[in-house]
Amino acid sequence: MTPLSRRHILELPTFALMGEAPAPAARAFAVAEPDRWVKTVCRYCGTGCGVYVGVKGNTVTAVKGDERNHNAGFVCIKGAMLPQILTSPSRLTHPLIRRGGKLVRASWEEAMALVAARFQETIERHGPEAVAFYGSGQALTEETWVANKLMKAGIRSNNIDGNPRLCMASAAGGYISSFGKDEPMGCYEDIDHADVYFLVGSNAAEAHPILYQRMLRRKERAPDTKLIVVDPRRTRTMQYADLTLLPKPGMDLSIVNAMAHVIFKEGLADLEFLRQHVTYGAGAEANKTIEDYRTFLEAYTPQRAAADSGCRVEDIVQAARWFGERGRATMSMWTMGVNQRIQGVWLNNILNNLHLITGKIGLPGSTPFSLTGQPNACGGVRDGGALSHLLPYGRLVANEQHRRQMEELWGVSAGTINPKPGPSAVELFQAVESGTIKAVYVMTTNPGHSLPNASRYRKAMASEDCFLVVAEAYHPTRTSELADVVLPAALWVEKEGVYGCTERRYQLLEKAIQPPGEARPDFDILCDLARRLGHGKLIPYKTPAEAWEDILKASKGTAYDFSGMTRERLRAAHGLLWPLPEGNHPGTKRRYVRGDDPLVGASHAQRVRFYGRSDNKAVVWLRDQKPPAEVTDADYPMSLTTGRVLEHWHTATMTGSVPALRPLNLEAVAELHPADLKRLNLKDGDRIRLVSRRGKLTLVARETENAREGSVFVHMHDPERLVNVLTIDALDPGSKEPEFKIAAVRIEKE
Ligand SMILES: Nc1nc2c(c(=O)[nH]1)N[C@H]1C(S)=C(S)[C@@H](COP(=O)(O)OP(=O)(O)OC[C@H]3O[C@@H](n4cnc5c(=O)[nH]c(N)nc54)[C@H](O)[C@@H]3O)O[C@H]1N2
Ligand SMILES: Nc1nc2c(c(=O)[nH]1)N[C@H]1C(S)=C(S)[C@@H](COP(=O)(O)OP(=O)(O)OC[C@H]3O[C@@H](n4cnc5c(=O)[nH]c(N)nc54)[C@H](O)[C@@H]3O)O[C@H]1N2
Ligand code: SF4
Ligand SMILES: [Mo]
């Protein structure tokens, strides 16, 4: 493996910067000496780095990493350049209403009156299920709380979902089926204790750079620390890997099952742990035995996995040995290469299995740790229960007792909440297409760009039969261009609220400056809408802090209990990890662990208690490898995968506004292996057409050894070249998450 030095780390493409001694980029952004520093959180990824913004007058002139937060003063290139997203010329500063086919300037009163009237009229004529809300893992917790309460308790519709369905739904489904409750049990500190990192479908060097850098720091200190990366492409994350497996897209369940096979065969399983803490299941039922599981694993020999995945037998065995070796702490991390698959939940389950069968769970450095994408997917939408089948803090729409609890907390009469779960994200837009949903409010997400099979849903959103409201910080976007009303939203430090990141860490973002023009915080806009729809009593809040009081109460007594996280404590702390019940509890690094998690009980006989399920056990699931939804064939012989680059954020409304980032990598290109180019008689720089069963896209071909032969990678960020016209809207049957990562395409020369 490549030797690591301090110099290597500092020269990493991730470009991490120390906050204290301003590194070049940080200084570049101290465009004027700030008058004051305000503590907040990075706007971008689910790493949730703490930052301070430097403010002069009403302008953010600098940013630096928070040394007392988990990121220890580091921020990545996107974080360092945050101030410029606030002042982009494309910031929307006043409402827009569509008149005669064109979006024209309107007053707030006109815009809000129109939105309220159209929603009211639609509900009266067609019922509450004719309207919908589509939210985001980037909205603040209090904003999401208001939207969820308004929809489920006020309008009495479960037609509320959000972009975490495109992202974390399979991880949530995996945690719930394996452990009874959502959310990871480990913490970032585990990175400092792990001896093995097992990364599957995660390009952390680009997507979670500060966590990746923390892994490298550990490797530098403890050179025997192993990094294993499983990804069909050769990624930047593999630069420092000790073992790389490059499976055929979609064929890595066989690898993970084969690792379990080897772990048992070589005596690396922790049979005592299994006896105490584990039950077994297949399908949806936990009704199997360890013998059933071992019989199931017999078929998954390393030879079979090698044949399925195209990886080498030795590498699969090596991965299993490093993972399972006694005395080594092992941390798995995974992201969209696992979740965005029709087998997403199943692959999550079997990654959890590896930790259960080795007992490498709930110990320093040993944990199954799904990395979250968005900064508040955990805190706002998953924990807050703002998906169509959920209610806040682990409660379910379909569970009568849970509905009663929320009705009481929300102060509405019993029977108010509709017992039928609403549609998931993609299904919601299918209902727009079919005309059952006639009005949609979209907030802090850009579905006209980010949905799979996008042309289909763009057409539905643009239709005369759909009244589309978009709350946005910028205009035009690929969604605001389709809207009937666009509401200008305050952004990031122009408002206040809570974000909850990957490790159950909740943090307060303080308001630092006033929003530009007439832009308003989403919280205020939603409260205004609630009042206009006659739900002022239900949504009486004047400030996000008032809503937070209700949120604390709703968490109390649940498996999420963070009722001790008062505004004051959040303001003083540099992040707090739940469970954190009322009182002076310091918070929980490792969930389910005796002596750390207050919900386990100090006198519990064993070191862990998986209290998410009533039998206090976790489930090892028998999950078979299946093919992806769309396999390649003679007409569509290449496999398309999509994802991210370091410098850009999703639909690039923010990073595309930063002059230093805009020129870097924003144009989507088709990354192809030299052998494929040769076979197709193409060369680097040629214009080509990618054709799938759903659409066509013209791009420049880029030759790279990093591509997998037979596969093409296109990033998702370019608003002018929407890769989602090609992707497939096939869904995981459990999580309803789309298979963004695998589609069949052919390549034509332009
Ligand atoms: N710079 C940047 N960082 C971000 C974001 C961003 O937009 N830009 N977005 C944030 C969000 S919301 C998210 S969800 C995360 C996503 O973070 P990641 O999931 O790490 O990023 P992706 O590039 O979407 O996909 C990861 C990898 O999955 C691989 N993959 C594709 N198919 C398969 C397969 O069949 N098996 C396996 N094992 N791997 C496969 C792809 O080749 C890709 O390298 O990033 C977060 N961080
Ligand atoms: N092909 C392909 N498609 C994908 C994926 C993939 O890997 N491949 N990944 C999927 C995943 S994991 C995700 S998370 C989604 C992300 O997809 P989106 O959520 O659609 O992408 P973003 O660009 O993050 O959209 C956030 C929008 O909110 C706006 N905004 C920012 N701050 C505020 C605010 O405070 N208030 C309001 N009202 N608006 C604000 C931004 O300008 C931006 O337009 O994409 C999904 N789509
Ligand atoms: S790693 Fe994520 S949260 Fe941290 S600075 Fe970079 S984009 Fe922001
Ligand atoms: Mo995501």
Predicted confidence (pLDDT) per residue in 700-729, tens digit: 999 999 999 999 999 999 999 999 999 999
CATH code, domain with 522 = 3.40.50.740
| pLDDT, position 640 | 98
State what percent of residues in the chain have pLDDT above 90: 94
Amino acid in position 665: N
Compute the average pLDDT of residues 470-479: 98
What is the SS3 string spanning 656-681?
A: HHCCCCCCCCCCCEEEECHHHHHHCC
Q: Taking the model in full, what pTM does it have?
A: 0.96
> Ligand 1 centre from 62 Cα, in Å?
29
The DSSP bridge partners found for residue 506 are 500, 576
User: What is the CB-side half-sphere exposure of residue 431 using CA atoms within 13 A?
Assistant: 21
Verify that 197 and 333 share a domain, yes or no: yes
Q: Which ligand is nearest to the CA of 447?
A: 2
76 lines ligand 3 (CB under 6 A): yes
Q: How many residues appear in the chain?
A: 750
| pLDDT, position 14 | 38
Number of neighbouring beta carbons within 10 Å of residue 267: 9
Range of the domain at 70: 6-86
> Among 249, 164, 165, which residue's Cα sits nearest to residue 200?
249
Compute the average pLDDT of residues 36-40: 96
The span from the CA of 747 to the CA of 711, in Å, is 11
Please classify residue 473 by burial: count the beta carbons closer than 10 Å to its beta carbon, then call 0-12 exposed, 13-18 middle and 19+ buried: buried
Task: Using the predicted structure, report yes or no on whether residue 17 has a pLDDT greater than 80.
Answer: no
The model's pLDDT over 289-339, given as tens digits with 9 standing for 90+, comes to 999 999 999 999 999 999 999 999 999 999 999 999 999 999 999 999 999
CATH code, domain with 663 = 2.40.40.20
> Ligand 1 centre from 40 Cα, in Å?
25
The span from the CA of 335 to the CA of 168, in Å, is 8
Residue 567 lies in a domain: no
| pLDDT, position 15 | 39
| pLDDT, position 30 | 61
330 lines ligand 2 (CB under 6 A): no
Residue 256 lies in a domain: yes
The model's pLDDT over 555-596, given as tens digits with 9 standing for 90+, comes to 999 999 999 999 999 999 999 999 999 999 999 999 999 999
| pLDDT, position 52 | 94
Amino acid in position 657: S
Nearest CA to ligand 2 atom 6: 643
Task: Using the predicted structure, report yes or no on whether residue 503 has a pLDDT greater than 60.
Answer: yes
Q: 342, 370, 398: which is the final residue of a domain?
A: 370
Verify that 301 and 389 share a domain, yes or no: no
The residues that are catalytic are 78, 167-168, 336, 373-374
Question: Cα dihedral sign for 690, 695, 698, 699?
Answer: negative
Verify that 412 and 524 share a domain, yes or no: yes
Long-range contacts of 68-73 (CB under 8 A, 24+ apart): 68/574, 69/507, 69/574, 69/575, 70/188, 70/189, 70/503, 70/505, 70/575, 71/47, 71/210, 73/18, 73/19, 73/20
- Ligand 3 atom with the shortest distance to the CA of 47: 3
The model's pLDDT over 93-130, given as tens digits with 9 standing for 90+, comes to 999 999 999 999 999 999 999 999 999 999 999 999 99
Q: How many domains does one find in the chain? A: 4
| pLDDT, position 700 | 98
Q: 36, 52, 86: which is the final residue of a domain?
A: 86
Residue 748 lies in a domain: no
- Ligand 1 atom with the shortest distance to the CA of 203: 20
User: What is the CB-side half-sphere exposure of residue 14 using CA atoms within 13 A?
Assistant: 28
The span from the CA of 731 to the CA of 736, in Å, is 5
Compute the average pLDDT of residues 360-382: 98
341 lines ligand 2 (CB under 6 A): no
Cβ 367 vs Cβ 361: under 8 Å:
yes
Question: Cα dihedral sign for 693, 694, 698, 700?
Answer: negative
Contacts of 481 (CB under 8 A, 6+ apart): 103, 448
Contacts of 230 (CB under 8 A, 6+ apart): 198, 199, 200, 201, 244, 245, 246, 247, 252, 255, 319, 337
Verify that 134 and 153 share a domain, yes or no: yes
Cβ 341 vs Cβ 742: under 8 Å:
yes
170 lines ligand 2 (CB under 6 A): no
Number of neighbouring beta carbons within 10 Å of residue 571: 12
Mean pLDDT lowest among 6-20, 215-229, 691-705 = 6-20
Q: 30, 62, 86: which is the final residue of a domain?
A: 86
Residue 594 lies in a domain: no
Degrees, nearest 5: CA angle 70-14-345: 70
Amino acid in position 133: F
Contacts of 78 (CB under 8 A, 6+ apart): 42, 44, 45, 646, 647, 649, 655, 661
> Ligand 3 centre from 576 Cα, in Å?
18
- How far is residue 361 from each of residues 330, 346, 371, 591, measured CA to CA in Å? 8, 19, 16, 10
Backbone φ/ψ region at 148: left (φ over 0), alpha (ψ -120 to 50), beta = alpha
Verify that 405 and 342 share a domain, yes or no: no
Strands 618-621 and 696-703, sheet pairing:
unpaired
Nearest CA to ligand 2 atom 12: 167
Cβ 164 vs Cβ 194: under 8 Å:
no
> Ligand 4 centre from 745 Cα, in Å?
23
Contacts of 257 (CB under 8 A, 6+ apart): 297, 300, 305, 350, 623, 624, 625
- Report H helices in 278-420: 290-298, 302-309, 313-324, 336-339, 344-358, 400-410
Verify that 223 and 352 share a domain, yes or no: yes
Please classify residue 579 by burial: count the beta carbons closer than 10 Å to its beta carbon, then call 0-12 exposed, 13-18 middle and 19+ buried: buried
> Ligand 1 centre from 169 Cα, in Å?
14
Would you place residue 31 in the very low, low, confident or very high pLDDT band (cuts 50, 70, 90)?
A: low
The model's pLDDT over 440-461, given as tens digits with 9 standing for 90+, comes to 999 999 999 999 999 999 999 9
Cβ 736 vs Cβ 427: under 8 Å:
yes
Nearest CA to ligand 2 atom 28: 444
210 lines ligand 3 (CB under 6 A): yes
The span from the CA of 169 to the CA of 382, in Å, is 8
CATH code, domain with 333 = 3.40.228.10
Q: How far is CA 336 from the centre of its chain?
A: 8
> Ligand 3 centre from 450 Cα, in Å?
21
Task: Using the predicted structure, report yes or no on whether residue 6 has a pLDDT greater than 70.
Answer: no
- Ligand 3 atom with the shortest distance to the CA of 208: 1
Verify that 69 and 113 share a domain, yes or no: no
> Ligand 3 centre from 114 Cα, in Å?
38
Strands 278-282 and 285-288, sheet pairing:
antiparallel
552 SS3 class: helix
Best residue among 203, 718, 737 to mutate for probing ligand 1, ranked by most atoms within 8 Å of CB: 203
The model's pLDDT over 253-300, given as tens digits with 9 standing for 90+, comes to 999 999 999 999 999 999 999 999 999 999 999 999 999 999 999 999
Whether the bond between 581 and the residue before it is cis, its omega within 30 degrees of 0, is no
The span from the CA of 337 to the CA of 413, in Å, is 43
Task: Using the predicted structure, report yes or no on whether residue 21 has a pLDDT greater than 60.
Answer: no
Compute the average pLDDT of residues 185-202: 98
The model's pLDDT over 509-518, given as tens digits with 9 standing for 90+, comes to 999 999 999 9
Verify that 151 and 26 share a domain, yes or no: no
Residue 480 lies in a domain: yes
> Among 383, 407, 382, which residue's Cα sits nearest to residue 156?
407
544 lines ligand 3 (CB under 6 A): no
168 lines ligand 2 (CB under 6 A): no
Q: Which ligand is nearest to the CA of 335?
A: 1
Residue 229 lies in a domain: yes
- Ligand 1 atom with the shortest distance to the CA of 137: 12
What is the SS3 string spanning 339-362?
A: HCCCCHHHHHHHHHHHHHHHCCCC
CATH code, domain with 43 = 2.20.25.90
> Ligand 3 centre from 545 Cα, in Å?
25
> Ligand 1 centre from 714 Cα, in Å?
12
Verify that 356 and 237 share a domain, yes or no: yes
> Ligand 1 centre from 337 Cα, in Å?
6
Best residue among 445, 492, 523, 641 to mutate for probing ligand 2, ranked by most atoms within 8 Å of CB: 445
Nearest CA to ligand 2 atom 23: 651
Please classify residue 287 by burial: count the beta carbons closer than 10 Å to its beta carbon, then call 0-12 exposed, 13-18 middle and 19+ buried: exposed
| pLDDT, position 185 | 98
Residue with tokens 């699969």: 316
| pLDDT, position 238 | 96
737 lines ligand 1 (CB under 6 A): no
| pLDDT, position 660 | 86
> Among 674, 670, 694, 693, which residue's Cα sits nearest to residue 749?
670
76 lines ligand 1 (CB under 6 A): no
Would you place residue 407 in the very low, low, confident or very high pLDDT band (cuts 50, 70, 90)?
A: very high
Compute the average pLDDT of residues 150-171: 98
Cβ 309 vs Cβ 252: under 8 Å:
yes
353 lines ligand 2 (CB under 6 A): no
Q: Which ligand is nearest to the CA of 338?
A: 1
Number of neighbouring beta carbons within 10 Å of residue 613: 17
Q: How far is CA 445 from the centre of its chain?
A: 13
Would you place residue 33 in the very low, low, confident or very high pLDDT band (cuts 50, 70, 90)?
A: confident
237 lines ligand 1 (CB under 6 A): no
Torsion of CA 10, 14, 15, 18, to 10 degrees: -80
394 lines ligand 3 (CB under 6 A): no
Cβ 689 vs Cβ 698: under 8 Å:
yes
70 lines ligand 3 (CB under 6 A): no
Residue 678 has which token pair? 């040769």
Verify that 203 and 295 share a domain, yes or no: yes
The model's pLDDT over 61-82, given as tens digits with 9 standing for 90+, comes to 989 999 999 999 999 989 989 9
308 lines ligand 1 (CB under 6 A): no
231 lines ligand 1 (CB under 6 A): yes
79 lines ligand 3 (CB under 6 A): yes
Best residue among 82, 163, 213, 741 to mutate for probing ligand 1, ranked by most atoms within 8 Å of CB: 741
373 lines ligand 1 (CB under 6 A): yes
Verify that 456 and 316 share a domain, yes or no: no
Q: Which ligand is nearest to the CA of 80?
A: 3
> Ligand 4 centre from 222 Cα, in Å?
32
Nearest CA to ligand 2 atom 30: 444
The span from the CA of 675 to the CA of 638, in Å, is 13
Nearest CA to ligand 1 atom 37: 201
- Ligand 2 atom with the shortest distance to the CA of 451: 47
Best residue among 96, 170, 374, 446 to mutate for probing ligand 2, ranked by most atoms within 8 Å of CB: 446
The model's pLDDT over 619-666, given as tens digits with 9 standing for 90+, comes to 999 999 999 999 999 999 999 999 999 999 999 999 999 998 988 899
Residue 249 lies in a domain: yes
Please classify residue 665 by burial: count the beta carbons closer than 10 Å to its beta carbon, then call 0-12 exposed, 13-18 middle and 19+ buried: middle
Best residue among 74, 210, 214 to mutate for probing ligand 3, ranked by most atoms within 8 Å of CB: 210
162 lines ligand 1 (CB under 6 A): no
Task: Using the predicted structure, report yes or no on whether residue 372 has a pLDDT greater than 50.
Answer: yes
Residue 603 lies in a domain: no
The span from the CA of 356 to the CA of 187, in Å, is 17
> Ligand 3 centre from 155 Cα, in Å?
37
Verify that 299 and 224 share a domain, yes or no: yes
Contacts of 568 (CB under 8 A, 6+ apart): none
| pLDDT, position 543 | 98
What does pLDDT average to over the chain?
Answer: 95
